[in-house]
Amino acid sequence: MSDRLIYLDNNATTQVDEQVLEEMLPYLKGEYANPSSMYTFAKKSSNAIKEARVKVKEFVNAESEREIIFTSCGTESANTAIRGVLSMNKDKRHIITTKVEHPCVLNVYKSLEKQGYNVDYIGVNSNGELDLEELSNKVNGDTALVSVMYANNETGVINPIDKVSEIIKSKNKNTKLYVDAVQVAGKIPIDVQACGADMLGISGHKFHAPKGVGALYVNSKTIITPLIIGGHQEKGKRAGTENVPYIAGLGKACEIAQENLHYEATEVKRLRDKLEQGILKNIFNARLNTGVANRVPNTTNIGFEYVEGELILLHMSDLGICASSGSACTSGSLEPSHVLRAMNVPFTAIHGSIRFSLSKYTTEKDIDYVNSVMPEIIEKIVKLSPYQDELAELRRRKGV
Ligand code: PLP
């Protein structure tokens, strides 16, 4: 076991920024008033929410802070948007999403399908890029909602949301677009007006705020019914006493993330590319699962052919390196990820696919260390593979 920690799993969650924590602390200590209370003591709490709402509004470039609703996470944002907009449009029964969405969208769609909705799941090509022609062919007069993620959590592949919106609105101007932007917040700029999203969700813990806070943008022309019903908080769109410290933290995280976008696009990307090139150059059975697709700067998804991803992760973990595999262990059987399956990643690589996701805290030393140990890890595991003939053939083809 190593006491080293190299955290390359930032698409799963991130470290809380010190400045975010500082912003939160007063509301966990002396400033504990309920923001809905009338007395002066509650002013600081209610102002903290007001200020955070403006920061989120600026972060996504909404027209007004009235278009921002605070939620508990990305999953709640998606559920609120999807269920909320459909319950205002009960006569329309057709909805569309993609085959590679996060379960917080995909499983909501599956439950709606069971309730009688007609659902189309749009595919992607082998690089993970959305089939825009298929999308265009599916939108019709009965389409109430389309949900398309801004970037995929496993591959980092970015969808051209402006084009998606243009296609949808040209076919049916009443169809609403929900954008799950959880994996782009803090990585690339978000501009809800330029990209044409009617609703868009983010989650604090993916960009250095704590777990348990998120936000949903709903433009002023889109009406939703609330998912959580109770008091009048969030203008009746999300009941429950506001989580003041976490909301203040989310606002600060948005402010910091906006300032950090240039660093993400340059330095984080440089380190991601260095890691990726190091692995692809030095490991004969490694392949980049996304080819030339446009991706967020922090993510790479690499398939190691004829080996098991879980074994790779265990060896990495022994050295203090955290990443994640494209497989989900469900009821004892190893199911390859629905995202990599939708991309038709060859069966030889799908089980050995690893996602590395960096952050502003990733250092050059981290990447140099990972690049120095990965070839040994893979060589060890290759020796255990039942596919020795295929591996020998692969070595011959690669000339190693
Ligand atoms: N959407 C995407 C693309 C995600 O990657 C995640 C989390 O991994 C979520 C939604 C869910 O966010 P949360 O964990 O805040 O519910």
Query: Is 153 a pocket residue for ligand 1 (Cβ < 6 Å)?
Result: yes
Quote the pLDDT of residue 253: 98
Going by their DSSP bridges, the two strands 327-330 and 333-336 should be labelled as antiparallel
CA 84 from chain center: how many Å?
21
From atom 9 of ligand 1, which residue's Cα is the shortest distance away?
74
Quote the pLDDT of residue 16: 98
Return the exposure string of 50-78: e unless at least 16 CB atoms fall within 10 Å of the residue's CB, then b: ebbbbbbbebbebeeeebbbbbbbbbbbb
DSSP for 248-274, please give it. HHHHHHHHHHHHHHHHIIIIIHHHHHH
Distance 74 CA to ligand 1 centre (A): 5
254 is catalytic: no
Quote the pLDDT of residue 335: 80
Kindly tell me the burial class for residue 244, based on how many C-beta atoms sit within 10 Å of its own C-beta (0-12, 13-18, 19 or more). buried
| Global pTM value | 0.97
Q: Both ends of the chain: CA-CA distance in Å?
A: 31
Query: Is 180 a pocket residue for ligand 1 (Cβ < 6 Å)?
Result: yes
Distance 205 CA to ligand 1 centre (A): 9
Quote the pLDDT of residue 158: 98
From atom 8 of ligand 1, which residue's Cα is the shortest distance away?
12
Query: Is 73 a pocket residue for ligand 1 (Cβ < 6 Å)?
Result: yes
Query: Is 182 a pocket residue for ligand 1 (Cβ < 6 Å)?
Result: yes
Beta bridge partners of 330: 333
Contacts of 144 (CB under 8 A, 6+ apart): 85, 86, 89, 92, 93, 94, 95, 175, 176
Strand, helix or coil for residue 326 = coil
Query: Is 9 a pocket residue for ligand 1 (Cβ < 6 Å)?
Result: no
Name the phi and psi angles at 327, rounded to 5.
Answer: -105, 150
For the record, the structure tokens of 277 come out as 């090139």
Distance 214 CA to ligand 1 centre (A): 10
Query: Is 104 a pocket residue for ligand 1 (Cβ < 6 Å)?
Result: yes
Cα–Cα dist 237/233, whole Å: 7
Q: Domains, the chain, ranges and CATH?
A: 6-13+261-398 (3.90.1150.10), 18-257 (3.40.640.10)
Strands (E) across 190-285 are located at 199-203, 214-218
Distance 167 CA to ligand 1 centre (A): 26
Return the exposure string of 37-47: e unless at least 16 CB atoms fall within 10 Å of the residue's CB, then b: eeeeebebbbe
Report the chain (400 residues): mean pLDDT per 10 consecutive residues.
Answer: 92 98 98 98 98 98 98 98 96 97 98 98 98 98 98 98 98 98 98 98 98 98 97 95 98 98 98 98 97 97 96 97 75 76 96 97 98 98 96 94
